[in-house]
Structures are given as C-alpha cells and as structure tokens.
Structure 1
C-alpha cells in the first residue's frame, strides 16, 4: 500500500486491543510475553516504554491500564521519518527467528498471529494520548493510540526519540536507565 512519494507499507495489525495492566506483547520462539520481570525485559535499555532485552519478544507498555487502545503495526522497507503528531517515541531492536510470531494482550486474553518474517529489525513505537489513557483508564472510547513502525536494520541500542507525556516520563524513570 503506497501513495506517490511514500515508502511501501505492509499493515501487519490494525485494531483496538483490549488489555489490562497496559500490557501488549509481540512473542516468538518459546516466549510467553511479559512475566512481570522488568529487569529481564528492560536490561540495557534507557527507555521504559518498549522492552526487547529478553530476546523472546517485545513488550510495549501502553498508557491505559485497562480497556481498549488503538494499535497499528506496519512493516516498512526503510527507516521512516519521525512524525510530528506523536507525543512519545522510542526505538528498540529485535531479532525475530524463524517460526510463528504472535501479538498478545495481558494474560493472552486478546491475541493473534502476526505475519512478521524472520530478521533483525528496528521498531519505532509512537504513542499519543498516554496521559489521557492513564487518567481515564475506564473511558468507553479509545483515548490512547500507538503506531509500531518496523523495518529491517542492524541491532542498535534502544533510544528515546521524544517524550512529552507525564506518563512516558514516569515509565522512563521507572523502567529505563538500566544501561
């Protein structure tokens, strides 16, 4: 799916994710998703929103504790430009082995397959509405939005690209700084 002047994009996932504890995972191999061990997931990271240190998945910490959050994942052929409409942005590297890849919310209450081929990738997690999600976690409408942009790239240390929400600042202090 492309339009003139844009890089090719493959939509891997685009849905409202019903979760609890703000948990959203990509899982491969023998991974079971986030198990509560912050050190295992964020070891060596400076950011506190996306943890990939375990090697068996990617944990994304959503701003909304419970309810529905809009999550979109796209595979792109090259590093995209940083969008102005995102409040919080972090990047991490992942290495996906051959085999199935799944996405999952807390306790696998909401999950499914993901067509992400084996490879070494950079993942940019863009977020908007984290403060609204944290403040009104039981709102009936979606208040927080996430875009995960994934492209083939050599592994690099994680990075905080932009932080404007109080919620992201909190999680960077709480989970980040393990480098």
Structure 2
C-alpha cells in the first residue's frame, strides 16, 4: 500500500484525476452515473472529477493505492462513495482546477485496467459555508485498488453538501 498526502487548491468545488494517456483537460463537469448516482465523484475513461465542499481555497487529500480493498473508514468520514475507474496507462495525477497545479499519485498497483475508487469526505458542509478560510476545513481520502467493474454505490451519506451534489446529477 502506498500513500500520498497533499494540500490541493480548488476552484469551483473540484479537483480532478487525469490518466497519463489522456492529453487534454476536461472541458466541463462530467455527468453523474445515471442509474447509480453517487454525486461527489464522476468518472469517464481516464478522467475523474472529485467534488469538494469548499468552492475556492485549500483542501487536504490523502490518496491510498493498494493491491486489494483497504476497507472503508466509516467512522472517520461523513460521506463515502465507490465507483469503478478505467485507467488506460496505470498512471494518474491529481490536478487542481484549471490545471494550475499537478500532484503525483503512486503508480496504480496492477498497471492499466479497471480500479475501484472509494472517495471519503469530511467537513463538506462546514467548508461550503466558508470563503477563503485560514485553515483547511474539508478533508478527503481516496482509496484505489484493482478489481473488476461494479456499479457505483453510496456507502455513507450525512452532509447537506453531499445531498446537493447527488440531486444535481
């Protein structure tokens, strides 16, 4: 298991992951899964939008890349969702909104293929009500491991911000 921690500047309440084989930035927000919406993470092949509570400022991300399911942190986070992701190259990076900054992610453990993303969020409601806070308010944990494709699922949802994004489709 490899872990990377980083502070990420967000604008318009998101950051995104981009596969090394994808040479262009997304031109807009991706749609949520129409049959199994999860609200705060949206994926297409090689691209994933990670939605945050804070509109503009710094959030904290921890990314864990594992060989198998590391287990959800149900006690430490308010909202937790899972979704499958296809990586053509096996290498992804975390981009700040608009591509202003790039953060390296540990290499995906099984190379190119299908992975599961489990996105944990804490402090979305508090951050949503802040404008340029002095300290980091919201925290995110993204766990990544290889597995076959499965439908998206909501494991835990408690925040108003999460419910907003779930209904925003």
- The answer to whether structure 1 residue 71 and structure 2 residue 61 are counterparts is yes
Structure 1 residue corresponding to 2:139, chosen from 136, 145, 150: 145
* Displacement of 1:95: 1.3
* Displacement of 1:100: 4.5
**Normalising to structure 1: TM-score of the pair?**
0.84
- CA 1:10–1:167 in 2, change beyond 3 Å: closer, same or farther? same
- Find the counterpart in structure 2 of residue 135 from structure 1: 129
- Find the counterpart in structure 1 of residue 50 from structure 2: 60
> How many residues get paired?
164
- The answer to whether structure 1 residue 35 and structure 2 residue 35 are counterparts is no
Structure 2, unpaired ranges of 5+: none
Contact kept in structure 2, 1:100 and 1:113, CA below 8 Å: no
* Displacement of 1:113: 3.4
- The answer to whether structure 1 residue 108 and structure 2 residue 99 are counterparts is yes
- CA 1:34–1:164 in 2, change beyond 3 Å: closer, same or farther? farther
Structure 1, unpaired ranges of 5+: 1-8
More displaced, 111-120 or 76-85? Answer: 111-120
Contact kept in structure 1, 2:79 and 2:122, CA below 8 Å: yes
More displaced, 65-74 or 107-116? Answer: 107-116
Contact kept in structure 2, 1:19 and 1:110, CA below 8 Å: no
Contact kept in structure 2, 1:34 and 1:59, CA below 8 Å: no
Question: Equivalent residue of 1:30, what SS?
Answer: coil
Question: Equivalent residue of 1:169, what SS?
Answer: helix
Structure 2 residue corresponding to 1:17, chosen from 8, 29, 49: 8
* Displacement of 1:81: 2.5
- Find the counterpart in structure 2 of residue 50 from structure 1: 41
Contact kept in structure 1, 2:118 and 2:144, CA below 8 Å: yes
Contact kept in structure 1, 2:90 and 2:107, CA below 8 Å: no
- CA 1:76–1:85 in 2, change beyond 3 Å: closer, same or farther? same
* C-alpha distance in structure 2 between counterparts of 1:106 and 1:112, whole Å: 12
- Find the counterpart in structure 2 of residue 92 from structure 1: 83
